[in-house]
Structure 1
Amino acid sequence: MTSRVTLISPAMTPSLRRARFDDDDSIEDSAAVRAGATALSLPTAGRVFVSPSVRCRETAAALGLDASQETGLSGLDVGRWRGLTLDEVGAAEPEAVARWLADPGAAPHGGESVRDLCARVARWLETTGLADGRTVAVAEPEVIRAVVLHALGAPETAFWRVDVPPLAATEVTGRSGRWNLRLGPVLSPPGGASAP
């Protein structure tokens, strides 16, 4: 039994553009158009999920996905930092930001730690991995980071070393307990001829 999980990060929002902790703003109009243009390239899936945030729900809709909200895919709860930029928080609480970025168990904002997020996402992935076939999920960038770490068995300290751009597709394949990370599409030469 093999499970394939394709995770799609949300389209660009004003908050993402300004490095602002998510404040439930909508995706940009141009990003919705871009998402719609890529919809036909998505794999067919037996299960389709979406993080509960506005940006993920709007991205799923722009992609033409009929997705079920999944609380296990919720973004990192940054508590009282929500709606602020990283620069604003860094200026007001430099020691707290440094501790948060260095220690996966720290939650100086009063929300969820990176460690707790990684554990929650790992539970979701392992449960999802019990089902055969393909799952597609539009999920927050930090959720995708946590999936990558879990699939690779990487330490939580690597969390901030994984970049997840808007509308990126990340795939893990395998089954509960053993995952492989699949990077990017296979490149083909112009005209569709196969490479030697």
Structure 2
Amino acid sequence: MTTTRLQLVAHAPTRALRLATFGGGNVDLDEGGRRAALALANQVPAGRGESCCLSSPAEAALQTATAWGLRPAIEPAIADCDYGDWTGRSLDEVAAANPGGLRRWLTDPDAAPHGGESLTALVDRVGHWLHAQAVRSARITAVTHAAVIRAALVNILRAPPAAFWLLDVAPLSVLHLRAGNRGWRVHLEPPGPINAVRR
């Protein structure tokens, strides 16, 4: 039986991401981000054989995929978390302007003090998308956001939404997954050039 193999890739760095800006992937890659993406161009197997490539609608995700010579299909379900009024603002700015709201967001997965998407809603959205991909019997590369990859891991590990904060995902990190009879499994790759790129 053919199984679905999915690799989730966090988009390359942006200046906004380096400044801890909410929605930091909704801007163009900077020069450092472009160089980092190009360094992986020969290591990402999407686009070969029966593979397909998907991308978040965000510019940074699309530009990461196109840096590899791919033409991704846009997949809204793997868009970054909707940060509402906080989009484009730095963590420090939000902490100064709305410390109570930030504290609620960091401690209550159901809270959405910015008027956007709660962590619970993000985890649910990503979980529904993962369920739909599991029956495709395909090889898929999806260029997305760190928050989406964290939400995917919360789903696969059947962890509570609060576990989201225990997971760190660096730019250009790759999460390898395989779908089988018992659902998704995390597949750890052996060390190789893709893991040697400095983030």
User: Same fold judged by TM-score > 0.5?
Assistant: yes
**Matching residue of 2:32:** 30
Q: CA deviation at 1:174?
A: 1.6
The answer as to whether partners of 1:51 and 1:70 remain within 8 angstroms in 2 is yes
Correspondence 1:13 to 2:18: no
Alpha-carbon displacement from aligned partner over 1:95-115 (angstroms, at most 9, x marks no partner): 110110111110000001111
Residues 59, 44 of structure 1: alpha-carbon distance in 2 compared, 3 angstrom cutoff: closer
**Matching residue of 1:174:** 179
Amino acid at match of 1:187: P
Which of the numbers 68, 93, 99 marks the counterpart of 1:63?
68
SS at match of 2:168: coil
Task: Give the TM-score, by structure 1 length.
Answer: 0.90
Distance 2:182 2:143 in 1: 22
How many equivalent residue pairs? 187
In percent, how many aligned pairs have the same letter? 37
Correspondence 1:186 to 2:190: yes
Alpha-carbon displacement from aligned partner over 1:72-120 (angstroms, at most 9, x marks no partner): 0111001000110111101111111011011111000000111111111
**Matching residue of 2:97:** 92
Task: Give the TM-score, by structure 2 length.
Answer: 0.89
How big is the alpha-carbon RMSD for the aligned residues of Structure 1 and Structure 2? 1.5
**Matching residue of 2:195:** none
**Matching residue of 1:40:** 42
SS at match of 1:137: strand
Q: CA deviation at 1:66?
A: 1.3
Distance 1:177 1:101 in 2: 32
**Matches for 1:115-194 after TM superposition, within 5 Å:** 115-175=120-180, 178-183=183-188, 185-187=189-191
**Matching residue of 1:50:** 55
The answer as to whether partners of 2:46 and 2:52 remain within 8 angstroms in 1 is no
